[in-house]
Amino acid sequence: MRAYEKNIRKAEPYVPGEQPQNKVIKLNTNENPYPPAPGVEKALKEMDTDRFRLYPDPTCGPLVEALADFYHVKPEQVFVGVGSDDVLAMCFLTFFNSEKPILFPDITYSFYKVWAELYRIPYECQKLDADFRIVKEDYDKENGGVIFPNPNAPTGIYEELDMVEDIIRANQDVVVIIDEAYIDFAGCSAIELVDKYDNLIVVQTFSKARSMAGMRIGYAIGSPALIKYLQDAKYSFNSYTMNQAALVCGVESVKDQAYFEEGIRKIIHTREWAKEELEKLGFCCLDSDANFIFVTHPRYDAKRLFEALKENGIYVRYWGSGRIKQYLRITIGTREEMEELFKFLKKYKGDCL
Ligand code: PMP
């Protein structure tokens, strides 16, 4: 090792799902198969490119206001970033600065461990139970902060708001972050608790239900005091995180509530049908409330099935470690895409376990 390398911050990066450039049936990164709201396309076509000469609004004003309106909170309670990954990274930097370990589930969004290691935040993973559920008592101990997704990823399991509130209530001396990337396909959001608990931050995204993963918009909602801390960290890092096109398109998406709700309804409908079809084919599906299903088959080896699917142009996600070694995560595509998946699975006799 060269002497200077001692001083280099080393990171083991998060590995995102593949983004193949050829045309495949892409059920591997929980994107939405439908286009964004029609107003987004219109706004892009009519975009005033002369505006690109100028820096974008560092406060992201109109987008913050649209989100504040949508969720019935004050604009001072909304923080916007470049996808929820950016918002979460900023939350880790801002809120998790204790000597005590932060707590998150052992099977969860694998980026949490990456940020904790990058920022040298001590952490302790809490084991999900045998049914892959969060055990709330595990979060009732000394810690430097708590974060978990609801619904969890990659399991898709949603925990009722009462249970989420129990965890927040037990942790009022630290910041609790609920990562709600998939909440629109599930139940009640913890946003309704932000006025009750000033240590709560709820993070959401435009990447899933709003079909805008490519635009990179995420946001956090919390008490004005916590949002101010986040903003101070952001302005100490990069004032202009959100580009002009994302700011304009984000507002258009929020405006069209009917399109948003209809898109969610379609995905949930396809998900429930897909679950039944998978079960008919012998798969065991976790009870997902997200836009994906986490499945295992008692006879098929998950890795071999993953590879066979890929060879046939169908991409799903596979991790291949620990308790989820025999599981695949399948994003809900269009009905036609799911039919192609089932056509393949019906033919697949597979290498048995
Ligand atoms: N949280 C969870 C649980 C996720 O699965 C994802 C998507 N990979 C994200 C956050 C980040 O999504 P984005 O940055 O696209 O908003």
Closest by Cα among 198, 199, 205 to 149: 205
> Beta partners for 295?
285, 328
Taking the centre of ligand 1 as the mean of its atom positions, its distance from the CA of residue 3, in whole angstroms, is 37
pLDDT at residue 22, rounded to an integer:
86
pLDDT at residue 21, rounded to an integer:
87
Helix (H) or strand (E) holding 259: helix 257-280
Stated pTM of the model: 0.97
pLDDT digits (tens, 9 = 90+) for 325-343: 999 999 999 999 999 999 9
Q: Is 181 in the pocket of ligand 1 (CB under 6 A)?
A: yes
316: confidence class by pLDDT, cuts 50, 70, 90:
very high
Taking the centre of ligand 1 as the mean of its atom positions, its distance from the CA of residue 208, in whole angstroms, is 8
pLDDT digits (tens, 9 = 90+) for 213-229: 999 999 999 999 999 99
The pick from 32, 155, 179 for probing ligand 1's pocket by mutation, whose C-beta has the most ligand atoms within 8 angstroms, reads: 179
Q: Could you please report the per-residue DSSP string of 15-34? A: -PPP--SS--EE-SS---SS
Nearest CA residue ID for atom 4, ligand 1: 181
pLDDT at residue 106, rounded to an integer:
98
pLDDT at residue 349, rounded to an integer:
76
pLDDT at residue 198, rounded to an integer:
98
Q: Is 109 in the pocket of ligand 1 (CB under 6 A)?
A: yes
* C-alpha distances in Å from residue 27, one per residue of 17, 140, 174, 332, 344: 10, 36, 37, 7, 14
Q: Is 270 in the pocket of ligand 1 (CB under 6 A)?
A: no
**Mean pLDDT on 236-248:** 97
SS3 content of the chain, % helix, strand, coil (to 5): 40, 15, 45
The pick from 15, 85, 179 for probing ligand 1's pocket by mutation, whose C-beta has the most ligand atoms within 8 angstroms, reads: 85
Lowest mean pLDDT among 28-32, 138-142, 281-285, 348-352: 348-352
Q: How far apart are CA 101 and CA 84, in angstroms?
A: 22
pLDDT at residue 351, rounded to an integer:
63
Q: What is the mean pLDDT of the chain?
A: 97
pLDDT above 70: residue 36? yes
pLDDT above 70: residue 238? yes
30: confidence class by pLDDT, cuts 50, 70, 90:
very high
Ligand 1 atom at minimal distance to the Cα of residue 217: 16
pLDDT at residue 353, rounded to an integer:
60
pLDDT digits (tens, 9 = 90+) for 186-199: 999 999 999 999 99
Read off the tokens for 84: 């929820």
The pick from 88, 182, 205, 212 for probing ligand 1's pocket by mutation, whose C-beta has the most ligand atoms within 8 angstroms, reads: 205
Read off the tokens for 351: 């290498």
Lowest mean pLDDT among 66-70, 254-258, 346-350: 346-350
**Mean pLDDT on 283-310:** 97
The pick from 207, 289, 292 for probing ligand 1's pocket by mutation, whose C-beta has the most ligand atoms within 8 angstroms, reads: 207
Lowest mean pLDDT among 95-109, 176-190, 339-353: 339-353
Ligand 1 atom at minimal distance to the Cα of residue 108: 3
Q: How far apart are CA 288 and CA 186, in angstroms?
A: 9
pLDDT above 80: residue 352? no
* C-alpha distances in Å from residue 24, one per residue of 43, 310, 330, 333, 340: 29, 9, 14, 12, 11
Q: Is 114 in the pocket of ligand 1 (CB under 6 A)?
A: no
Q: Is 218 in the pocket of ligand 1 (CB under 6 A)?
A: yes
Closest by Cα among 300, 285, 330 to 132: 285
